[in-house]
A and B are shown apart, each in its own frame.
Chain A
Amino acid sequence: GNSVTQMEGPVTLSEEAFLTINCTYTATGYPSLFWYVQYPGEGLQLLLKATKADDKGSNKGFEATYRKETTSFHLEKGSVQVSDSAVYFCALSVPAGKSTFGDGTTLTVKP
């Protein structure tokens, strides 16, 4: 079956540090890949997505590139802010819309 593996957290960074959260996946066919963010006590918000190999998704300074050869979709941001503190989920979706999520990575950014 399909699966998503994220780097284990928690991750603690100082403001303006570089962020990488690793994500690898296993899937049959050609999935779309997503990063979601969840702030405390809230639901999931889509952060970015990529629908085919070599696509780069980007939003709010975050980027991730769909790497089919390494089955990866690592999340990066050049300079994190305190407001980026949240839980980040990598996910894949196959036709008919079912999504498979990783276990999430908690990011804490300190001033």
Chain B
Amino acid sequence: DAGVTQSPTHLIKTRGQQVTLRCSPKSGHDTVSWYQQALGQGPQFIFQYYEEEERQRGNFPDRFSGHQFPNYSSELNVNALLLGDSALYLCASSFAATGAGNTIYFGEGSWLTVV
């Protein structure tokens, strides 16, 4: 049973460019959340997708957008990249029906460096 898988694992982009990160949730999970983890900090919630819609959003600008597909996989898009967007981007999946106590599974992350 594959866990949460993310791609690419590492990438380097130039300021102003756009990036797309991809995530496949753990089998059986229907909810995908994205987090940004800057160096030396804890993960910060970007947004969550359920039933192909954005259900919650953290304090991130509109440059950050996402999508969830019918197979529950998800993409995170960041436009007009800034140096400060350099971080580890983590995808987490869960099963909505189990509520707040459900275990959230994280992928290994995508390391984005903006130069």
* Chains A and B bind each other: yes
Q: Which residues of A contact B (CB under 8 A)?
A: 4, 30-32, 34, 36, 42-46, 49, 51, 89, 91, 93-104
A97 touches B43 (CB 8 A): no
A104 touches B41 (CB 8 A): yes
| B: number of interface residues (CB 8 Å) | 28
Whether B94 sits at the interface, judged by CB under 8 Å, is yes
Q: 0/1 per residue, B90-104, Cβ < 8 Å to A?
A: 101010100111111
* Inter-chain CB contacts under 8 Å: number: 71
Q: Which of B31, B42, B48 contacts A104 (CB 8 A)?
A: B42
> Measured between C-beta atoms, what is the minimum distance from B63 to chain A in Å?
20
B41 touches A99 (CB 8 A): no
Closest A residue, CB atoms, query B108 = A43
Whether B66 sits at the interface, judged by CB under 8 Å, is no
B101 touches A100 (CB 8 A): no
A-B pairs, top 9 by smallest CB distance, nearest first, are A101-B42, A51-B101, A43-B108, A44-B106, A95-B100, A32-B101, A43-B106, A43-B109, A32-B100
Q: 0/1 per residue, B46-59, Cβ < 8 Å to A?
A: 00100000011010
Q: Which of A30, A46, A93, A101 contacts B43 (CB 8 A)?
A: A101
> Measured between C-beta atoms, what is the minimum distance from A10 to chain B in Å?
11
> Measured between C-beta atoms, what is the minimum distance from B99 to chain A in Å?
5
Q: Answer whether A43 and B104 are a contact pair too, CB < 8 Å, given A103-B41, A103-B42.
A: no
B42 touches A98 (CB 8 A): no
A98 touches B33 (CB 8 A): yes
